[in-house]
Amino acid sequence: MLQKKIIVTALAGAAAFAVGCASTEPKEASNQAVSPQVSQAAAEVGATYYTVIDFPKGKNTVTDTQKQKLRELAGVANATGEVKEIQVLAWADREYPAEGQKVSGGDKKLADDRIASVKDFLKKDLQTSADVDGHNMAQRPGFFADLVNSQDNKTKNTFESIGAAPNDVGSRQALTGNKASKAVILVKYQ
């Protein structure tokens, strides 16, 4: 009888392990606490791994600490298989703009420069051959992007609707965490 209990317990443990390994939930590469909204949004857009990096206010420089997070992401991602695409969602020093909110050219440029810095590091320093696409989170998709439902539109709408790109100050932002001065890097496979 004891032997039967041990076998049943072992089988239950193996089944639980298999279910845990088969999870499609994307994983944060550096094992740091990230909001569940980012994880959910990453899953919705088809990412397997992701990381969130910080930028110094007003700067587009990827610091040594953040470069290490990108190296960890690349290491985990490359060990899993051939990476098809990397998406970089970069914010300026403010949250994703609310619908109808005017955004300065400086904010748009800062987010674009942050995307370029991450792309440059991934391509030159980490020598990734994957496509690297950027999403400027300092601006909302335009009319045409809405009309054709572009990939940029889908990604931004997914992050906003889930709360991973909060666009208001107050209780919602307090619950979801802010993204000002950050970038989310998503890894997708074939």
* Digit-coded pLDDT (tens) for 133-176: 999 999 988 777 677 878 898 999 899 888 888 765 444 444 44
pLDDT the model gives residue 105: 96
Question: To the nearest whole number, what is the mean pLDDT of the chain?
Answer: 80
- What's the farthest any 2 CA atoms get from each other in the chain? 73
Q: Which pLDDT tens digit goes with each residue over 39-80? A: 999 999 999 999 999 999 999 999 999 999 999 999 999 999
pLDDT digit string, tens, across residues 93-148: 999 888 888 899 999 999 999 999 999 999 999 999 999 999 999 998 877 767 78
Q: Are 80 and 48 in contact (CB under 8 A)?
A: yes
CA separation for the pair 141, 11 (Å, rounded): 50
Domain residue ranges of the chain, discontinuous segments joined by +: 25-189
What span, in angstroms and rounded, lies between the C-alpha atoms of 22 and 45? Answer: 18
What pTM was computed for the model?
Answer: 0.79
Q: Across-strand partners of 119?
A: none
Fold of 25-189: 60s Ribosomal Protein L30; Chain: A; (3.30.1330)
The single residue listed with the structure tokens 């009319």 is 143
What tokens appear for 30 in the block? 């550096």
Instruction: Flag whether pLDDT at 25 surpasses 80.
Output: no
- Distance CA(136)–CA(156), nearest Å, equals 9
